[in-house]
Structure 1
Amino acid sequence: MPKSQLPELSRRSGFVILPFFLWGTAMVAMKAVLPQTEPLFLAGMRIMPAGLIVIAAASWLGRSQPMGWRAWLWISIFALVDGFLFQFFLALGLVRTGAGLGSLIIDSQPLAVALLAALIYQERISWLGVIGLFVGVVGIGLIGLPADLLTAFGQGDLAAVIAGGVFTTGEWLMLGASLSMAVGTILIRPVVAHADPVAATGWHMFLGGLPLLLLSGMYEQNQWQSLVNWQWLCIAYAAIFGSAIAYGLFFYFASTGSLTTLSTLTFSTPVFALLFSSILLQESLRSVQWFGVGLTLASIYLVSGRGSVTEAELEPNQVDPA
């Protein structure tokens, strides 16, 4: 599918938003389980079984399995960055920071994707798309930042903002997760140049989950002894829906469409996370957060519906052959 068809797909089908809905609700499920388990165990249990599911689905659908050293090399790099490192930073960061601020940092990665895609793949977005990117950053900032930090920032008290704990261990871990996801999104194109995107997605989750469970066995204790039935269901939801289905859809879309346009939909993830945490975990949204939700949705429209530059608008030598 050409890149220019992705905005049309987003208008015609709800599937393009589904990965971000599943990721947002999976964050809620993980946060609910985390007090009764260990972060590396939870991260490994989220993606390694999901990888096996996707690999089995690829075989059932008749998709080709990776062949040749180039395919396995790119899949291994992909597994290291987007599988192991992303989940490693995410799980450890989720222990040390709030869900709102964590989502804010992770889901600001479309800016890094836009920059990398412009440098590496010569992707272009219009000035409306650029505005949409920054509107999205402001929106998720209003959603995730604590009220006292927003007040201090509005008053120009930079010292109070820094003292308020923005740059702590948990936030740096979430930043690592954000950058890992951005690089992983960029890597999908060389991966699918040598392997089927569905099979590659499954193998990268399986291979990325192995070291997480290995490290959990070496350094963590009582990973599952305190878990009850509903918590196992939460882990299963995060694995099947929040990983197997979400990652399969996301990297399929990423392999066939505009990386900048698709990645900007990531701004919707903290919206879904906060909405469902307010319903299921009784966390309330402040009025400023609802305003942030509105800005976030506006940014998605600007970049996905109005902000992309189609192939017809590019010079012939600017069109990415992928």
Structure 2
Amino acid sequence: MDLKFKSHWLFFQPVILISPFFFWGTAMVAMKSVIPQTTPLFMAGVRIFPAGLLILLVALMLGKSQAISLRGWLWICFFALVDGCCFQGFIGEGLMRTGAGLGSVMIDSQPLAVAIMSRWLFKEVIGFWGWLGLLTGIVGISLIGLPDEWILRGLQGDFTGFNWSWNGLFDNGEWLMLLASLSMAGGTIMIPFVCRHVDAVVATGWHLVIGGLVLFLFSFQYETNQWINLDLNSWLLLSYATIFGSAIAYGVFFFLASKGNLTSLSALTFLTPVFALTFGNLLLEEKLSDLQWQGVWLTLVSIYLINQREKISKFMFRENLYFFLKKLKQTQTTNKE
């Protein structure tokens, strides 16, 4: 029986690890489909508020500790502001101005920020390959987010006649998604601190509930006609984004993040834009420019380098050691002759 259970776990373990990123990627496509019928802040609130209630219900059924100290509530509120309100709000506003796939690439550049923050706070080693990944990621994000005209004319050395309006830059949406990425990175870094005072699942649920309430308050203050144009199909898509793209994805991700290496786990998010780009192309017919595609691949390569930096370093060390010993042996053989 135990052997059978272990074999099933070995099979489902990679599926569980990948599931949050699949759900996040496809949820982006679902939300992009709904955004013409609703408003961004309302959609963001609908995505996370019910999801938080579902997670709290599951936590209660699992017998998770509901005890939260005053310091725990402060951490949860801070967590909700950064990872709930800011992260989801920037996503909603960004989807008004960019595609699901491209926006997902920008959001999931957050392992770059997580790596730097983890190096500073937790002394996690970045190393040569990690820094190379960070530099590659900066180039990739620039190719995605900066207007093609800026890049092409800059490469030609022509810096005259540029429209350097920051408002125009942020109107394309990619930079709003970058702010969402930084918000998620900040939330990921907070997890170990939050989990010192609150159960990981309970904290996840409450931060989604509180973040959703704040988004609803902003929506009712600044938006109109939030749900009047939503049909049955739109509500079904929002339900998918809520249940799978938030409740299940958040619950699994933050549980895993509370148990393992933050930088490596976060770097698995390179799968999210792969899913978002694939389904965005198939279902929404989203197209990217040549420079943006180059930026996508560079960003994915950078995240891979950060995620696999330790393995790459060990492999390169073994290879260098092998060639050194081989050369030494050849030298000794030559001397004997």
TM range (shorter): 0.7 to 0.9
Inter-partner Cα distance in structure 1 for 2:256 and 2:132: 23
Q: Is the Cα contact below 8 Å between 2:170 and 2:176 reproduced in 1?
A: no
Equivalent in the alignment of 1:73: 74
Structure 2: 5+ residue runs without aligned partners?
Answer: 1-9, 314-337
Deviation at residue 106 of structure 1 after TM alignment: 2.6
Equivalent in the alignment of 1:315: none
Establish whether residue 190 from structure 1 lines up as the match of residue 193 from structure 2: yes
RMSD over aligned Cα, in angstroms? 3.0
Establish whether residue 303 from structure 1 lines up as the match of residue 297 from structure 2: no
- Relative to structure 1, the CA distance from residue 214 to residue 289 in structure 2 (aligned partners, 3 Å threshold; closer, same or farther) is closer
Q: Is the Cα contact below 8 Å between 1:65 and 1:199 reproduced in 2?
A: yes
Deviation at residue 267 of structure 1 after TM alignment: 3.3
Inter-partner Cα distance in structure 2 for 1:158 and 1:243: 43
Equivalent in the alignment of 1:107: 108
Question: Which protein is bigger by CA-based radius of gyration?
Answer: 2
Equivalent in the alignment of 2:327: none
Q: Is the Cα contact below 8 Å between 1:140 and 1:270 reproduced in 2?
A: no
Question: How many pairs does the alignment contain?
Answer: 301
Establish whether residue 173 from structure 1 lines up as the match of residue 176 from structure 2: yes
Encode CA deviations 1:71-119: one digit per residue, 9 max, x unaligned.
Answer: 1111111111111121122212222344455334433322222221111
Establish whether residue 260 from structure 1 lines up as the match of residue 263 from structure 2: yes
- Relative to structure 1, the CA distance from residue 222 to residue 228 in structure 2 (aligned partners, 3 Å threshold; closer, same or farther) is same
Deviation at residue 263 of structure 1 after TM alignment: 2.1
The secondary structure found in structure 1 opposite 2:258 is: helix
The one-letter amino acid paired with 1:264 is A
Equivalent in the alignment of 1:90: 91
The one-letter amino acid paired with 1:272 is F
Equivalent in the alignment of 1:239: 242
Encode CA deviations 1:27-56: one digit per residue, 9 max, x unaligned.
Answer: 111111011111111010000000011111
Structure 1: 5+ residue runs without aligned partners?
Answer: 1-8, 311-322
Q: Is the Cα contact below 8 Å between 2:40 and 2:92 reproduced in 1?
A: yes
Q: Is the Cα contact below 8 Å between 1:66 and 1:195 reproduced in 2?
A: yes
Inter-partner Cα distance in structure 2 for 1:289 and 1:155: 18
Give the TM-score normalised by the residue count of structure 1.
Answer: 0.81
1:1-322 to 2 correspondences below 5 Å: 13-99=14-100, 101-139=102-140, 147-157=148-158, 160=162, 162=164, 165-168=168-171, 170-284=173-287, 294-307=297-310
The one-letter amino acid paired with 2:61 is W
Encode CA deviations 1:291-310: one digit per residue, 9 max, x unaligned.
Answer: 55554554444332343799
Inter-partner Cα distance in structure 2 for 1:308 and 1:189: 25
The secondary structure found in structure 2 opposite 1:119 is: helix
Task: Name which of structure 1's ranges 23-32 and 170-179 shifts more when overlaid on structure 2.
Answer: 170-179
Inter-partner Cα distance in structure 1 for 2:24 and 2:294: 22
- Relative to structure 1, the CA distance from residue 161 to residue 248 in structure 2 (aligned partners, 3 Å threshold; closer, same or farther) is farther
Inter-partner Cα distance in structure 1 for 2:66 and 2:272: 31
Q: Is the Cα contact below 8 Å between 1:101 and 1:145 reproduced in 2?
A: no
Q: Percent identity?
A: 57
Q: Is the Cα contact below 8 Å between 1:103 and 1:144 reproduced in 2?
A: no
Inter-partner Cα distance in structure 1 for 2:174 and 2:285: 24
- Relative to structure 1, the CA distance from residue 309 to residue 284 in structure 2 (aligned partners, 3 Å threshold; closer, same or farther) is closer
Equivalent in the alignment of 1:320: none
Give the TM-score normalised by the residue count of structure 2.
Answer: 0.78
Deviation at residue 264 of structure 1 after TM alignment: 2.3
Task: Name which of structure 1's ranges 81-90 and 156-165 shifts more when overlaid on structure 2.
Answer: 156-165
Q: Is the Cα contact below 8 Å between 2:32 and 2:99 reproduced in 1?
A: no
